[in-house]
């Protein structure tokens, strides 16, 4: 599920910003091409809700590394406004998912954008059925 969310975010970022912005989902040792985004899940949780229903919380972080070193804040502010719009709805496994709890902060010239994608999940239980059932019924009187 988390990988599907990351894929949905990457598709939405590419649709909004185009091919000039690289999106990374794994760490990069060398050759970081700016401007770029890093997408990763920070704190996934899974708790029982009712019966076989589970509530999954997926807090995602999208980091943006600006290209203009002289005007980092201005560029990050413009990107954060666009991220609020393009990440409100993403497609996850063919279904729309809505982003909640969105917020942005700048740390050391890098924009950190946080968004939650929360889902209810129903787990099916494998049942073993009987091969044959016979029943005998009689009426008294």
User: Domain locations in the chain?
Assistant: 2-122
Is residue 119 within a helix (H) or strand (E), and if so which, with residue range? Answer: strand 110-122
CATH superfamily for 2-122 is: Phage tail protein-like (3.30.2000.10)
Give the whole-angstrom CA distance, residue 124 versus residue 44. 21
pLDDT of residue 33: 82
pLDDT per 10-residue tile (average), the chain, 141 residues: 90 91 85 88 88 90 90 91 93 90 92 93 74 78 68
pLDDT of residue 125: 75
Q: Are 111 and 66 contacting, i.e. CB atoms less than 8 angstroms apart?
A: yes
Whole-prediction pTM value? Answer: 0.80
pLDDT of residue 137: 81
pLDDT of residue 129: 67
What lies within 8 Å, CB to CB, of 27 at 6+ separation is none
pLDDT of residue 80: 93
pLDDT of residue 98: 92
């Amino acid at each position: 599920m988390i990988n599907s969310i990351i894929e949905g975010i990457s598709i939405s970022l590419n649709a909004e910003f185009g091919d000039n912005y690289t999106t990374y989902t794994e760490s990069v040792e060398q050759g970081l091409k700016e401007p770029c985004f890093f997408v990763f899940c920070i704190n996934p949780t899974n708790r029982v809700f009712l019966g076989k229903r589970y509530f999954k919380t997926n807090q995602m972080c999208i980091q943006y590394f600006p290209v203009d070193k002289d005007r980092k804040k201005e560029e990050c502010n413009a990107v954060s406004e666009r991220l609020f719009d393009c990440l409100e709805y993403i497609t996850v496994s063919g279904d729309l998912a809505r982003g909640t709890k969105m917020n942005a902060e700048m740390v050391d010239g890098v924009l950190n954008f946080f968004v939650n994608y929360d889902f209810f999940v129903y787990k099916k239980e494998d049942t073993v059925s009987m091969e044959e059932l016979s029943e005998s019924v009689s009426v008294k009187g």
